[in-house]
Structure 1
Amino acid sequence: MSDWQQISLGDLETPVRRKAAVPPQRSRASMSDGYPLRPLGEVMRLDIQRTPMKPATTYRLAGVLNAGKGVVAKGELDGGDTEYAAMNVLRADQVVMRKLTAWEGPITVVPAEFDGFVVSNEFPTFTLGPELMPDWMRHVCGSPRLWAEMKNRVSGTVQRRKRLNPEQLLQIQLPIPPREVQVRIVEMLDAVDQQIAALDREASAADTTAGAIAESMLAEHAHVRVGDHLSRIEGGRSPQAVDTPPKEDEQGVLKVSAVVAFHFIADEAKTLASETEMPKSAEVRAGDVLVTRANGAINRVGAVCRVPSDVRDGLYLSDKTLRMVPAEGLDPDFLVVAMALSGVRRQIVMAASGSASMKNISQSKIAGLEVPMPELTEQRKIASTVLSVRSLGRASRAEAGRLRRVRAALLSGLLDGTISIDTAELGV
């Protein structure tokens, strides 16, 4: 690796204001009943290796996901196809962050499988000192506390262009437990993560099984235009709204994210402006079959769900969500199942129009979709079977969600010492 060049803070392209060096000792500031707060600059250092971009040489390119979710492969790059003269090299167990939009928490520890990947100069890397375990720091990078500290230090005038310089990251103070405590924290959090991953796998398996059952039970049935079995398709409006969830006494309009396949998310709504009036016909009702007309992701266009019986009053369809009203002879639950069949999904993808960032499907195209249509009794039998299997997946997802909330609280308490290791082990 003779082409690599070691650089320090002073070599960075972005100028930074230097402060007096912090002596390598514990900060006097500390958490109540927790571990002493210490600047990250005491326990890790900026350590960037650059490699020149050579034509006819292939480099593996990486990126960093938001919210501490890790490193992602972004394909291969020929050194002659980039304007960068050199790029930064990732090394296993280093911390890497993205300076741009750092307030979104794009920071993580480099896994072994990404050793040797390259990133742009926008991604500085840091080597951990002997007091920090890489796996412990990996969990820290997933902590909202760290993201909040990063957000507080970004600089710039345009929100999407705000940056966090390496020196600003190193000034962040966090509670640093002894290494032997870090070992136990990692073991505990990894165990919870394994449980969450197992539940996620169970949920995915249930969904896959439910889809296979639906395909099998409907394989021999003739297809008809779904519009011939609908009374009508109703749309909403695009009113003035504030992008915050409505309170119980406020009215709201659905976001497109409120409708996903088989699942209605009532919290995905915007608060209507006080002077805005919506027609009663656009209000969401229990038992409605909703479909997304437009979405930024093609796999979300044409997603269908049924509104549960406990839906709150005062939620309204937007112009991107439609209500499909089944005619006599079409079971609403079966309609949800049929619209998720792989053959119907392929039709939706073919019928969708618009740019890559916003795909649309018109009411007429939805009405023209061809779906299998057994008689009503058979519809209800199929829907009951498929939805029963999917309910197993729903239960697994709910438990995984509960564990994620427990994990978040556990992570915060363990890292700052407000939850003792022994107490946490008894609880888990």
Structure 2
Amino acid sequence: MVAWRTVQLGEVLRQKRDRVRIEPGKPYKQITVRLWGKGLALRGTSDGSEIAAESQVAVGRNDFLISKIDARHGAFGLVPADLEGAVVSNDFPCFTVRQDLLDSRFLEWFSKTETFVSVCQQASTGSTNRVRLKEGSFLGFEIPLPSLDEQQAIASRLDEVHAKLGEREVELAAVEREANAMLFNAFQEITDGIEYLPLSEVAPLVRRPVDIEPDVEYPELGARSFGRGLFHKPSLLGAKITWQKLFWIHRGDLVLSNIKAWEGAFGVASDNDHLRVGSHRYLTCVPKTDVISGHFLWYYLQSREGLEKVGAASPGSADRNRTLGQKALMAIEVPVPNLKVQQRFTRLHALVEQVRAIRASTAKDAEALIPAMLHEIFERQANKPDAAPLTSEANVVQLPTKQKPKIDTPFKEAVLVGAIVKAFHEDNGQPIGNFRLQKAVYFARRQMGESALDKDYLRKAAGPYNPKMRYSGGIKIATDKNWIKRATGKYGEGNALGDAAAEMDEWIERYQFAPAAAWVRDRFKYIKNDLWETLATIDYAMLALDHDGKRPTPEAILSYIEADDEWRPKIAKLRLTQASIQNVTVELESLFADVGGVV
């Protein structure tokens, strides 16, 4: 394949200057330009008398529209057919695409890449709150461009994958709807004519106060609204708890937020939640296991009828003023069918939850697939002079089959980096240095079960400090997105939360990276850099030896490190001996004891 050439945007885009006169009494479509590559949408239709400007630019189908103010945040896109003829102000430059040089669909996909967003960021200048994209600067930037045929082939392949992902989501949504309907019908059947009893008789309120000690950390639990269950909060250090009262949570408890229960913020504590703590804002009801199933009880309270009762027990004007009363909670009456019937329903409910989890996991992988393909095509392949055709099956990223967190795309790597920086920030508010961030990424990936030696980043992260990693991979992407930024704290320069950090929260939740990030922080925040590097070095050496079918003895580990030119200096730097390596292997076994052990 011929190498991609570079062209200035001004060669393939022409800014529209012709304006149409706005006439009172005539309707005009107006456009909303959504952030982060989400494209354009109809904002509404206005009468000409409602538009202050005397004239505006009318957009055409497949024109490229940019928001001057938010271009640096991905606010741009192609004009779809239903928005043709809409009018825009000077804050929204409109460009026609030279179809003889640039395929519109190719441009649409390319605009979703880090490269294009970076162009818009660099072309946007001005003081705080007055940053605007400068059209001349924007059109002067160069972009990589393959032949028109290759552009069309790339766009067609991406369109095809995007369409198939949409079809899969529709199918999975239909399956989930049918499963939920089946579950609801089953619940209606088993509760028809059944006696109702107050919660005080079947799941009484139990509070287990915590005697707070200053040097002890207490892992906290929270509840998400709308029936999305429980989640783990960062640990609380006893010395920093000045006013809160804490209460122990046990497996099987029904845990309710007393300020958000009315909108479904409650769930059943699992084994993984056992002996976490909740603030005084959380109530724990303990189901009598010979009378009622906790999950059956949860399902009823999350139903329309159940939530109405919880809402009635939460008086107040609105939102956080609506507090769940303990006496009112205990007075709520719930259906109590035969326990064996409840248990059968609970098993059926678990199967439906599996369907929901499969759909959610598939959706996460699907959402990561397109960014991965874009990265492979535009960020990597564009720079290869002799790359294979980009539309071949061999170069198409496939959906992962394992339904567990793993790092298989640069975008996911960036999310993990952001999750780690956020976890450390929540603990002490200080930036985390590059060295510690690299090691944190390594151990987070290992904690999630990653052990593939073909992951070049894994080896680099375990190896000697590599300042170049700051300018590549996940750290670079997270920095470019402004999820993280360089900052100076009391321990020196490092990585802190960026201005756009809130945008990564949904991705952290989708990929379930928060537990791994918190795990790394809680186990390593007091460990010195040399010990952190020693642990990573020995761990990776053990992986490598195991991969080669060799027993990872201290002698074999030392020989492995000594045989590697890049790693050999570690022996002197870290004072590695067979005895010290033996001690480290024991520490690693303890470190990974709760995640399946080392190799």
Residue 154 of structure 1 corresponds to 124
**2:376 paired with 1:413:** yes
For 1:421, what is the secondary structure of its paired residue?
Answer: coil
For 1:63, what is the secondary structure of its paired residue?
Answer: strand
Q: What CA RMSD, in Å, does the superposition of the two structures yield over aligned residues?
A: 4.4
**2:295 paired with 1:333:** yes
Residue 135 of structure 1 corresponds to 105
TM-score, length-scaled by structure 1: 0.69
Report the count of equivalent residues: 372
**2:34 paired with 1:65:** yes
Question: How far apart are residue 139 of structure 1 and its match?
Answer: 1.0
> In 1, are the aligned partners of 2:301 and 2:307 still within 8 Å (CA)?
yes
For 2:132, what is the secondary structure of its paired residue?
Answer: coil
Q: Using the aligned pairs only, state the percent identity.
A: 19
Question: How far apart are residue 44 of structure 1 and its match?
Answer: 1.0
Match of 1:281 among 246, 252, 256: 246
Residue 91 of structure 1 corresponds to 60
Match of 1:426 among 394, 397, 401: 394
Structure 1 portions without partners, runs of 5+: 1-32, 235-249
Q: How does 1:170-185 map to 2 (within 5 A)?
A: 170-185=139-154
| Pair 1:330–1:195, CA change in 2 (3 A) | farther
Q: Deviations over 1:253-310 (max 9, x none)?
A: 7788x666345565xx679799744868367776665566778xx9x94355556545
Residue 400 of structure 2 corresponds to none
**2:364 paired with 1:401:** yes
- Counterpart code for 1:331: S
Q: C-alpha distance in 2, partners of 1:252/1:171? A: 53
Residue 78 of structure 1 corresponds to 47
For 2:325, what is the secondary structure of its paired residue?
Answer: helix
Q: C-alpha distance in 1, partners of 2:73/2:19? A: 25
| Pair 1:83–1:213, CA change in 2 (3 A) | farther
Residue 79 of structure 2 corresponds to 110
- Counterpart code for 1:386: H
For 2:4, what is the secondary structure of its paired residue?
Answer: coil
Higher relative contact order (CA 8 A, sep 6+): 1
| Pair 1:57–1:231, CA change in 2 (3 A) | farther
Q: Deviations over 1:51-106 (max 9, x none)?
A: 44433333333212211112222233233334444444332111112222333211
Residue 261 of structure 1 corresponds to 227
Residue 377 of structure 1 corresponds to 340
For 1:123, what is the secondary structure of its paired residue?
Answer: coil
Residue 418 of structure 2 corresponds to none
> In 1, are the aligned partners of 2:173 and 2:359 still within 8 Å (CA)?
no
- Counterpart code for 1:137: L
For 1:91, what is the secondary structure of its paired residue?
Answer: coil
| Pair 1:276–1:156, CA change in 2 (3 A) | farther
| Pair 1:424–1:109, CA change in 2 (3 A) | same
- Counterpart code for 1:400: A
Stretch deviating more after TM superposition (77-86 or 282-291):
282-291
Q: C-alpha distance in 2, partners of 1:255/1:174? A: 46
Question: How far apart are residue 133 of structure 1 and its match?
Answer: 1.0
**2:182 paired with 1:208:** no
> In 2, are the aligned partners of 1:133 and 1:182 still within 8 Å (CA)?
yes
- Counterpart code for 1:173: E
Question: How far apart are residue 163 of structure 1 and its match?
Answer: 3.0
Q: C-alpha distance in 2, partners of 1:348/1:81? A: 46
Residue 204 of structure 2 corresponds to 231
> In 1, are the aligned partners of 2:250 and 2:273 still within 8 Å (CA)?
yes
Q: Deviations over 1:113-170 (max 9, x none)?
A: 22223444432211111311111111112223322332344334435x5332333432
Match of 2:9 among 36, 40, 46: 40
Match of 1:199 among 168, 184, 187: 168
Residue 155 of structure 2 corresponds to 186
Which structure's residues are more often strand, by fraction?
1
Residue 4 of structure 1 corresponds to none
Question: How far apart are residue 371 of structure 1 and its match?
Answer: 6.1
Q: C-alpha distance in 2, partners of 1:99/1:318? A: 45
Which structure's residues are more often helix, by fraction?
2
For 2:204, what is the secondary structure of its paired residue?
Answer: strand
Residue 325 of structure 2 corresponds to 364
For 2:42, what is the secondary structure of its paired residue?
Answer: strand
Stretch deviating more after TM superposition (192-201 or 322-331):
322-331
Q: C-alpha distance in 2, partners of 1:176/1:216? A: 56
Q: C-alpha distance in 1, partners of 2:125/2:41? A: 26
Q: Deviations over 1:329-363 (max 9, x none)?
A: 443323443344345567788979777xx777422
For 1:138, what is the secondary structure of its paired residue?
Answer: helix
Q: C-alpha distance in 2, partners of 1:193/1:211? A: 27
For 1:184, what is the secondary structure of its paired residue?
Answer: helix
> In 2, are the aligned partners of 1:136 and 1:186 still within 8 Å (CA)?
yes
Q: C-alpha distance in 2, partners of 1:158/1:66? A: 19
Structure 2 portions without partners, runs of 5+: 208-216, 397-599
Q: Deviations over 1:226-260 (max 9, x none)?
A: 865553498xxxxxxxxxxxxxxx9887788x666
Q: C-alpha distance in 1, partners of 2:95/2:373? A: 26
For 1:231, what is the secondary structure of its paired residue?
Answer: coil
> In 2, are the aligned partners of 1:35 and 1:177 still within 8 Å (CA)?
yes
